[in-house]
Every structure is written in C-alpha cells, then in structure tokens.
C-alpha cells in the first residue's frame, strides 16, 4: 500500500508541479527565467534594447561614441563593460550607426579629463563629439535594484553638439549567478 501511495505522489509531483509554472506565466504572475544567460541570451536582450532605441528615436545618429555603461554610483563594473561591448557589437551587426573604437573613446576622455559617471554636461558632450568626430554619445546605466529582481539596462543616445536626447530605452537582464558576479567586480 505504501508503495502505491508513494508512486501516486511521485507521479502527481512529476506532472502537476512543472505545469504550475506555465499556469503562473499564463496568469501574468511571473515570467519564467531563462535557462541560461549565455551569449545568445545577451544578444537577444540587447537586440530588444536596440529595437526599442530605434522605435523611440527622434533622429538617427550616424557615428557615436559609446561610453562604458556605469552603475547607479557612476562606477564601471565588469557587467557594465560586458554590456557596453555587447551593445557596440550588436549596433555594428545591425548597421544602425558607426561606432568609435573603445580605445579612442578612452583616450579622448583622458585627454579631456572627463570621468565616466553616466552624466555629462552639454559642454562635455560637445567636447567629446568634436574630439572624436561623432554626432552622438551613447551612455548607459546598469541598475541593480534589489536582490531577487532583474537588472535594468537603460541607454540614452544624446546628440553631441546640442545635448538633445535622440533616443532612450531600457531592457531587463535576468539576475543569474554570472550576472550577480559581474555586477560585483570593478576594474
């Protein structure tokens, strides 16, 4: 008798519990987490971000300097660096606009004595644009809101000459162990 009860309980658990996740998702209670946060996952998330950027843009940039994405404190984490690189890769793959190489951006910021904090004055934007020959500057903030929630990547494309916001968009990044680890590393 105990064996039959055990088998019945096992079968119920095996078939009923996995179905609960689908029910919760269909009710809008939560999205299922991705199976893994690999390169393909990040490509998909950044592609969604770029789609949002395109939909929200008032004008299209021709050439942009992408500054390292910072956290809320203005620091560049390994996650911010990774997402900056991934953003630039996907922009180039889609042919949205030309990107100034990161080394040139870093050198220009050093020459101009501008620190990457995520916020720039109109004068700083103009100086960077002139120095690099770009018509736009891309800034980004990786927001680690709280434990247990997703991480938010918010990007702004700003016209370097006028300081006008050309586009802004954001996307959620699943908080995997890899993401948590990269958020805590600073260079």
Domain boundaries, the chain: 1-32, 34-184
CB 127, CB 112: distance < 8 Å? yes
Mean pLDDT, to the nearest integer, of 101-126? 94
Helices assigned H by DSSP within the chain: 2-26, 39-56, 78-94, 102-112, 122-132, 177-184
Q: Residue range 94-98: average pLDDT? A: 96
Structure tokens at 126: 């103009």
Question: What is the per-residue pLDDT across 56-71, written as a single tens digit (0 to 9) for each?
Answer: 999 999 999 999 999 9
Q: What would the pLDDT profile of 149-186 be if each residue is shown by its tens digit? A: 899 999 999 999 999 999 999 999 998 888 988 999 98
Mean of the per-residue pLDDT values for the chain?
A: 86
Average pLDDT over residues 127-143: 97
- pLDDT above 90 for 136: yes
Domain 34-184, CATH: 3.40.50.10610
pTM: 0.80
pLDDT of residue 26: 46
User: Strand 63-66 vs strand 151-159: parallel, antiparallel, or unpaired?
Assistant: unpaired
Mean pLDDT value of segment 125-149: 92
| pLDDT higher than 70, residue 52 | yes
Cβ–Cβ < 8 Å for 158, 124: no
| 3-state secondary structure (DSSP) of residue 71 | coil
**Between residues 30 and 10, which one has the greater pLDDT?**
30
């Amino acid at each position: 008798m105990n064996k039959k009860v055990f088998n019945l309980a096992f079968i119920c658990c095996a078939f009923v519990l996995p179905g609960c996740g689908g029910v919760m998702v269909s009710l809008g209670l939560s999205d299922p987490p991705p199976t893994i946060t690999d390169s393909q996952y990040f490509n998909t998330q950044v592609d969604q971000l770029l789609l949002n950027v395109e939909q929200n843009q008032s004008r299209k940039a021709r050439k942009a300097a992408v500054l390292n994405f910072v956290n809320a404190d203005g620091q560049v984490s390994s996650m911010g660096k990774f997402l900056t690189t991934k953003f630039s890769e996907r922009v180039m793959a889609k042919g949205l606009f030309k990107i100034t190489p990161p080394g040139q951006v870093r050198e220009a910021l050093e020459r101009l004595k501008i620190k990457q904090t995520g916020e720039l004055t109109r004068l700083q934007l103009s100086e960077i644009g002139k120095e690099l020959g770009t018509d736009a500057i891309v800034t980004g903030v990786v927001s680690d809101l709280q434990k247990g929630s997703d991480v938010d990547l918010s990007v702004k494309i700003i016209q370097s000459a006028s300081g006008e916001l050309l586009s802004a968009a954001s996307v959620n990044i699943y908080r995997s162990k890899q993401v948590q680890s990269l958020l805590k590393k600073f260079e």
